[in-house]
Structure 1
Amino acid sequence: MSSSEKKNFWKDKNVLVTGCLGFVSSWLIIELLKRGANVIGLTDDCTPYSVLRIEGYDRNISIIQGSITDYLTMERVFNQYEIQVCFHLAAQTIEGICRRSPLTAFETNIKGTWNVLEASRVCRTLEAIIIASSDKAYGEQKNLPYHEEQELLGRYPYDATKVCDEVIAQSYFHTFGLPVGITRCANIYGGGDFHWSRIVPGTIRSVLRNENPVIRSDGTPVRDYLYVEDAVNGYITLAEAVATGRAKGESFNFSAEHHRSVLDIVKLIISISGKKGLSPDIQGKGKPYQEIDRQILSARKAKSRLNWEAVYSLKEGLKKTFLWYKKYMGRYL
């Protein structure tokens, strides 16, 4: 698809984004608006801490307050707004919360997904639905990096919900021919993530407060990192491919293939900040409880099939992220 075709693809397209005030959802909506889409957002909580609101883009979309766990709400939204493309990002994504309250996580992440899929099935205007899975669905694997054809071994509550989401989505594709695509993204980082327990925003907040960043592990766990604008481009590229019949029913890894230890990330953020006298405060031993030690993804399939590739280096992405938080430090940190 040429650049002009991509631009025309989204012009006046009715697009539903669930969890619209979330971190990744906000950046996705901003890009969709730039491409001329008519965006409908669904949210169950009205938080002021959202990139969409901070940047003023919430005034340019239709926001519906409702829950993905309510099927009748989902069916009404799909049909009333004649949804053509859906990005299903609403979920409980914080692993610690999922462990503390697994039933709530299962209700939101699994029931919510089957409601969205069923509502999209009975929607006559639908062209594509993208389900946000996660690299956590792979679980502990002996062979790294992760490839799409590997068995999904997610065992902990959040990880297991993403495995279930994928199985249900595949069922809707194989049974009903639903035009579904599935993303498995690396750890997405960028401005506007207000979950301070995550390593990138938590470290940046500490640095901006002139505090030593705390590391909950011994600093050795390894993760892949993906800048949010690259992730958004991955979502949009996959949706275009599914809608045009090139990737229906398939899962894709999206990663910049920047795998680093937690300690390396913290040190790099301190270096980018230019602040002197700060150092990582390592408080843990080994990996955090019930977390995967090494997560590394291959993006080869996305590169070859979708012609997608991350643009930002890790240092470039972290620098843009740091500057975003620094800009809004007085209001939100």
Structure 2
Amino acid sequence: MKSYFRPTGFVDAPFGYDGRVARLAGGLTWFSAVEVIERSGGKRVSQRLVPISEIDTSNPLWARLTAPRAPIQLGERTVRFSEPSVMAILNRTPDSFSDGGRHATDDEAAAAAVAMAAEGAAIIDVGGESTRPGAAEVWEQDEIVRVAPVIERLAKAGVAVSIDTRKSAVMADALSRGAGMVNDVSGLTHDDRALETIANAGCPVVIMHTRGGPETMQRDPQYEDALLDVYDWLEMRIDAAVAAGIARDKILVDPGIGFGKTVRHNLEVLNGLSLFHGLGVPVLLGASRKRIVGALSNEAPVDRRLGGSLALVMTAIGQGVQMVRVHDVFESAQAIRVWRGLRDAALSPPTL
């Protein structure tokens, strides 16, 4: 039997609720109950809502839910997880599903990245290989040629840079040029040398869930329980990373919306996002402009998915997600600032 804790019953502020609410992962979200889920043989056997006042706080899951997340360092930049932040997507690819070919030259890509940083992005995530469903793999040297000049420029300008890649050679090259973090959509499973590369570099890493590679991941994906299966897989990959010498406080997780999941699977994961805080590491969500938005809005094309993308941003930060990976930086950062203003007001109640 395995137990899972999913925080729920969120409240705006803790005032007047001593002993009845808890702070989620050291952030600006408080919760009043936990959905305790028990699973055996791959199936849920029970689930119940437990008020905070009745929770067994000696359970290790409780400590993981409530412990503040340590900040990460990317070059000169410190990224903190006490409030939500934005990771901006910069694709140097001709075939990415949303912005393929948009940043064709090094100058265009660097200018776009600097603009996104000015608009509020804490990290620029630079990628040279499309991982959309059906995409073919790119030779690692071609990938390096696409991303290397931009990474160098951004690092010299003091911008925090992440390299979005599955390949250890690309990781190592990008880190040597000033990237400060690796974002691996394969969860460090695509390349046998990836774990060692990250461990030797001592850099932060995003471990994302997927099922299969881009060529095959959307061919009838199956789960016993999508939310719990994704959680278990990420837990396993965190353990593998720590065993390989990667510090736990440098790991982030991404549940991988759209990667080996149907619309129904994606919705189950999104509704249960707060469960992933039980892994004890910061949570990143990348759902910007994805297929799920089109599927829920009369097949809206990619360039008409801003509203749905912002809805997913708000869903994520409302469940304590610490970082969102987006194309629309200005709008997403603005939404987060408004959310922060509402939260600040709730944390400064009028005097009675």
Give 1 or 2: higher strand fraction. 2
Give 1 or 2: higher helix fraction. 1
Give the TM-score of the pair, scaled to structure 2: 0.33
Give the TM-score of the pair, scaled to structure 1: 0.35
